[in-house]
Structure 1
Amino acid sequence: MKVAYTGWTWLVNHQDNYKYEFEQFLKEVADIGYDSVENFAFITKYFDNNAEEVKGLLDKYGLEMVNLYEHFSTDPEEDYKKAGEYIDFMKKIGATYLNLQGVMWKDAPFDRPTDEATIKAYAELSNRIGKLCKENGCVAVFHPHAATPVYTEEQIDIFLANTDPAYVWLCPDTAHTTLAGMDAVEAFKKYLPRIGYVHLKDVDPDVNNSPEWPMNRFCALGLGTVDFRGVYRVLKEGGYDGVLCVELDKPLVCNYKSALVSREYIHNVMGL
């Protein structure tokens, strides 16, 4: 399995210095020992769609960018058009996976009733993008995410029932799975046949910590209660040989420290 780290958190503070921050991200994760990276698809804009420049930086630090991450909007045709642009960029830099995510809300209430119509609309769009990915040698994976219409077990089941397994895979996230009330190990067992990509992060079990925005409870691997040994065992015994991508939305100290803590945990606990 490849061990990756996501880099968008390096790119959110310095609006006029994206290229420097992106290279700093690569420099730091390479130093820590990751072999692969992912990033939000907005880097195509930051680099004016210059894939050669991005590929040059990846090669400089001996890293493979495995994934670009596309966020859906309220305009499915625009999302499909952008997916085509991202796929073209991915092919030029050697990336394989296009991660898809529904629109995220930031206003109360945090948990909302299942919106089956929206989930089916996402499924239809994901099928179209997934077919486009497959035609271009890439893989579409959908990421269930807190504060989006596809998050809970019920919502994931509806989405999967309405997507073609030949075109759309799942990217479960250990933290979002846990936050949604599922046992991560059992969820990975259930969805194993559809898992195409994996996000890893841990969760502080204290529900009184930031109840207004529970995603603030996410933490580096080993600092919460997710059973990563169990998750890894399910994946390994099930024949999964893809990417394990670590992500942390809000590092407690700095990006480098959190990435280091998680990389050491993966090495010590999973032997990777």
Structure 2
Amino acid sequence: MKNIADFGMDTITLAGTLPAKLAAVREAGFGQIMLSARDLTGHDAGVDAAVAAVRASGLRVTGFQVLRDFEGLSGHLHDYKVDVARSMLEMCAALGCRVLLACSSTSKHATEDPEPIARDLRQLAMLALPLRIKVAFEGLSWGRSINQYTEAWDVVQRADMPNLGIGIDSYHVFATQTPLGALDDVDPDKIFLVQLSDFMWNEVRTPEERIDTARHFRVFPGEGVHSAMLAELVRKLDALGYRGDYSFEVFNDDYQQMPQATVAARARRSAVWLAEDILRRSVPLPGTMRLRAA
């Protein structure tokens, strides 16, 4: 029997303290969690205590997010972002996490030329390499020059680093209406992370609406109006040979006002729907989300 990807939750979905979030995710049966740098820096007892709490939870860290507006800058702005990147990589390594998520720049100070962008991503990957960390570069749907996974894949290829790949976020794919057929041109071994979510309306027409929906109104897979597209995306990735992690990237103000256990149960239902109805896998062990090929 061959293991395929686990599903995991993101702490951004849940209200409360880091220990409470870790407990809710674990008790819902998940084996992994996506962390934000703020989970560590905002912990009352400090970063070291936050790292210890994560390690004690038994949850594997899916990825660490998010490095913003890194690429395409120059001079003192570039140097500043390199320092930020080093700090995030250090926290990522302390967690034993193997994936740092970086999203495409929205800065008006960044160039749109793909060559300097690729050069900067190459530098970021080189900083991560000694720490055995992979960098997943994601195209934000409101990015200045890179807002689709196809464009992110182009600059990743230009950078040509073994530990640099792309992150796929279903929200941004649906927001930009990027054809899924373009995934055929992507090396599945270079997809380092897949984040899944849905939303309640068919289109997000402007960058402002994209940002507002992305940050406040996402829902779990199977709860929105793009279930068929999301199922197609997951099947497509599976058919291409993607065997990495799926994380639920759900920003939702309403979920922040609900008990953690209630929200985590919704996430579990989404994982079971994707596993059993979409990928047609079985969940062999009670209380886990590890899936095995039939």
* Shorter-chain TM-score above 0.5: yes
Deviation string, structure 1 residues 188-245 (Cα, Å, up to 9, x no partner): 4333433111111113343379985134153221122143333233333333222111
Residue 177 to residue 208, structure 1, CA distance change in 2 (3 Å): closer
Query: For residue 7 of structure 1, what is the amino acid of its counterpart?
Result: T
TM norm structure 1: 0.79
Supply the distance in 1 between the matched residues of 2:124 and 2:44 (Cα, whole angstroms).
23
| Residue 225 (structure 2) pairs with residue 224 (structure 1) | yes
Residue 55 to residue 154, structure 1, CA distance change in 2 (3 Å): closer
Aligned partners of 1:248 and 1:258 also within 8 Å:
no
Aligned partners of 1:38 and 1:65 also within 8 Å:
yes
Larger RCO, structures 1/2 (Cα 8 Å, 6+ apart): 2
Supply the distance in 1 between the matched residues of 2:163 and 2:238 (Cα, whole angstroms).
23
Supply the distance in 2 between the matched residues of 1:104 and 1:49 (Cα, whole angstroms).
33
Deviation string, structure 1 residues 27-68 (Cα, Å, up to 9, x no partner): 222222221112222344324995542232124432122311
Measured after TM superposition, the shift of residue 137 of structure 1 is 0.8
| Residue 91 (structure 2) pairs with residue 95 (structure 1) | no
Of residues 135, 138, 142, the one that matches 2:137 is: 142
2:8 match: 4
Aligned partners of 2:175 and 2:203 also within 8 Å:
no
Aligned partners of 1:221 and 1:261 also within 8 Å:
no
What's the RMSD between the two structures over aligned residues? 3.1
Supply the distance in 1 between the matched residues of 2:226 and 2:155 (Cα, whole angstroms).
27
Percent of residue pairs bearing the same amino acid type: 14
Supply the distance in 2 between the matched residues of 1:127 and 1:228 (Cα, whole angstroms).
31
Secondary structure at the aligned position of 1:206 is classed as coil
Measured after TM superposition, the shift of residue 93 of structure 1 is 1.7
Aligned partners of 2:121 and 2:156 also within 8 Å:
no
Secondary structure at the aligned position of 1:56 is classed as helix
| Residue 263 (structure 2) pairs with residue 263 (structure 1) | no
Where does structure 2 lack aligned partners over 5 or more consecutive residues? 277-290
Supply the distance in 1 between the matched residues of 2:266 and 2:14 (Cα, whole angstroms).
17
Measured after TM superposition, the shift of residue 248 of structure 1 is 1.1
Where does structure 1 lack aligned partners over 5 or more consecutive residues? 12-19, 106-111
Supply the distance in 2 between the matched residues of 1:120 and 1:79 (Cα, whole angstroms).
18
Aligned partners of 2:9 and 2:267 also within 8 Å:
no
| Residue 130 (structure 2) pairs with residue 132 (structure 1) | no
What are the equivalent positions in structure 2 for 1:10-159 lying under 5 Å apart?
Answer: 10=14, 21-47=17-43, 52-69=48-65, 70-72=67-69, 75-104=77-106, 116-117=112-113, 119-149=114-144, 150-152=146-148, 155-159=151-155
